[in-house]
Amino acid sequence: MKQIIECVPNFSEGRDMNIIKQITDAIESVEGVRLLNVDPGKATNRTVVTFVGEPKLVCEAAFRAIQIAGELIDMSKHKGEHPRMGATDVCPLIPISGITMEETAKYAQELGARVGKELNLPVYLYEAAQPNKDRNNLSIIRAGEYEGFFKKIKLPEWKPDFGPAEFDAKRGASVIGARDFLVAYNVNLNTTSTRRANAIAFDVREAGRTEKDAKGNIIKQTPGSLKCVKAIGWFIEEYGIAQISMNLTNISVTPVHIAFDEVCRRADARGIRVTGSELVGLVPLNSMLEAGRYFLRKQQRSVGVSESELIKIAVKSLGLDELGPFKPEERIIEYMLRDKADSRLVSMTVAGFADETASESPAPGGGSISAYMGALGAALATMVANLSSHKRGWDERWEEFSDCAEKGQKYQAELIRLVDEDTKSFNHIMAAFGLPKGNDEEKAARTKAIQDATKYATEVPFKVMQAAFDSMEVIKAMAETGNPNSVTDAGVGALAARSAVMGAFLNVKINAAGLTDKAFASDIIARGQKIQEQAMAKETEILTIVNSEINRTT
């Protein structure tokens, strides 16, 4: 999975759109980075910018933005309602997919070191990037704000992590860190009462409710039921309803669907109904998929359904379309980052894909077709698992078949991805052959590019072999224990999977023949030969089971 992180820097300028535009232009100057949102605030005199991409590219874009912000913003003249201490006040990096928090924190540390050294700017680390837990809280670091930092930075305990221990009157100081994705999420209520909405908010938010005596002293603190959740109740005149407005600060601790269900439970106890909800801004794909699986499991239904079906279930269960249409392609981060070229083939109709294969173009060829055959084999196994999960009288076994269906879906998704990947790998070879060869340096570069592309074009069909063979375990399980009425579907799945393995192996062998790295070529062919033999044996096992069941019923 491609590594994707999000960066949400806050700049101390929310009124001059020319300055804001120059900052966002610097971000967009980095190819491969996607600017998702720019949110200026006049009262706060602060702009929140959101962009995403691969870690190194995002860090480069963040560096350029911090640099230009320091040149354009004069903190000595800054006034605004929001706490602040620098031109780039805070710059968090957030793991989105394919990357851990620890890895993201390392990137934040590297970015902080570069800003401190190359821009000569005081930098403090926070949250997961800060090893000293006594100073990892943003509000504690920023206490005293811009005006108080001229003295604070001289204190030994507040020496910056990077850069000079001198406060820059024009640029201030910056806080760079790594934190979890924050989801802004509102739950709709069938009431107009802010007071009642607040009561529910106090029930669920981590801080809970505070009781004070007549003098304002705290006499009791009762925590709420949800960790990593901030919440208040408010009335939205535009909608004519009250909402619980929440910030989910760690969706791995309290995901969207758990927050929703808990608000439903607490609202019901107070005689109030939840009618739906809304997501503010963007949400990671996994949050929607987890929500879909959660609500299917509550119904004791198989979770081994397509990605689009899981999202549909999540949207309907959470009521995300109550106040307006929820368009996944505009609200899910990973979907906004997708390159349509990465799924050109699988986005075609079945007839269109066949016509494209039959055309005079050499791609898609046998490798892509092998991947697609494998995907169909896994899809058939998934179908049998889902039918079995929902078979009348088999209710106690729904979870067993749901697990099989989920595995089948994963193999299917991987093989579908490899349909386009195989064609792309072929195109890379053709592009490498087209490189200039006018001198020795160009010839060497061209030769290396051809070898690199050929090696990858060998690895892709090998991945097809592995995924198709692994899917045969699910196919066999469905032939043995699945709905007997669909046993022949499992049999066809085995045929498709075996054909995928054998077809992909032909591509492994032909591409490996062009490699100068003979050790690599020999190894991958030997491993491929073993997988092919195992797939053929597995096919025989499955077809024996299938034919035995057919003979039993005829």
**Which domains does the chain possess?**
4-178 (3.30.990.10), 183-337 (3.30.70.670), 346-553 (1.20.120.680)
User: For the whole model, what pTM was predicted?
Assistant: 0.72
Catalytic-residue membership of 422: yes
Q: What is the SS3 assignment for 488?
A: helix
Nearest to 69 by CA among 32, 125, 108, 115: 115
Mean pLDDT in the chain?
92
On whether the CB atoms of residues 490 and 380 are closer than 8 A, the answer is yes
Q: HEC profile for 426-484?
A: HHHHHHHHCCCCCCHHHHHHHHHHHHHHHHHHHHHHHHHHHHHHHHHHHHHHHHHHCCH
Of the residues 74, 78, 82, 342, only one is catalytic, namely 82
Catalytic-residue membership of 78: no
* DSSP-assigned states of every residue in 223-254: --S-TTEEEEEEEETTTTEEEEEEEES-TTTS
Q: Identify the helix (H) or strand (E) that includes residue 221.
A: strand 218-222
Of the residues 203, 422, 470, 489, only one is catalytic, namely 422
281: left (phi over 0), alpha (psi -120 to 50) or beta: left
pLDDT digits (tens, 9 = 90+) for 318-344: 999 998 899 998 888 888 777 777 778
Q: Identify the helix (H) or strand (E) that includes residue 53.
A: strand 46-53
Structure confidence at residue 31 (pLDDT): 93
SS3 content of the chain, % helix, strand, coil (to 5): 55, 15, 30
The rounded Cα 538 to chain-centroid distance in angstroms is: 35
Instruction: Kindly tell me if the per-residue pLDDT of 125 is higher than 70.
Output: yes
Instruction: Kindly tell me if the per-residue pLDDT of 3 is higher than 80.
Output: yes
User: What tokens does 189 get?
Assistant: 């209520």
pLDDT digits (tens, 9 = 90+) for 293-312: 999 999 999 999 999 999 99
pLDDT digits (tens, 9 = 90+) for 233-244: 988 877 889 999
User: What tokens does 498 get?
Assistant: 């075996």
Point out the least confidently predicted range of 74-88, 310-324, 405-419, 513-527: 74-88
Structure confidence at residue 1 (pLDDT): 62
- Sort strands 88-97 and 4-7 into parallel, antiparallel or unpaired: antiparallel
Tell me the average pLDDT across 222-243: 89
Q: Does the CA dihedral 300-306-309-315 come out positive or negative?
A: positive
Structure confidence at residue 249 (pLDDT): 87
Top pLDDT among 456 and 38 is at 456
Nearest to 311 by CA among 288, 290, 331: 288
Q: Using the structure block, give the residue that is written with the tokens 């995928």.
A: 500
Q: Which residues pair with 248 in a beta bridge?
A: 183, 229
Nearest to 252 by CA among 191, 172, 182: 182
Structure confidence at residue 82 (pLDDT): 74
Nearest to 268 by CA among 200, 181, 354, 216: 200
User: What tokens does 271 get?
Assistant: 């005689």
Taking the C-alpha atoms of residue 182 and residue 138, their distance in angstroms, rounded to an integer, is 15
Structure confidence at residue 395 (pLDDT): 80
pLDDT digits (tens, 9 = 90+) for 347-375: 888 999 898 889 988 878 899 999 999 99
Band of the pLDDT at 18, cuts 50, 70, 90?
very high
- Residue 435's Cβ-count burial label (10 Å; 0-12, 13-18, 19+) is middle
Structure confidence at residue 219 (pLDDT): 77
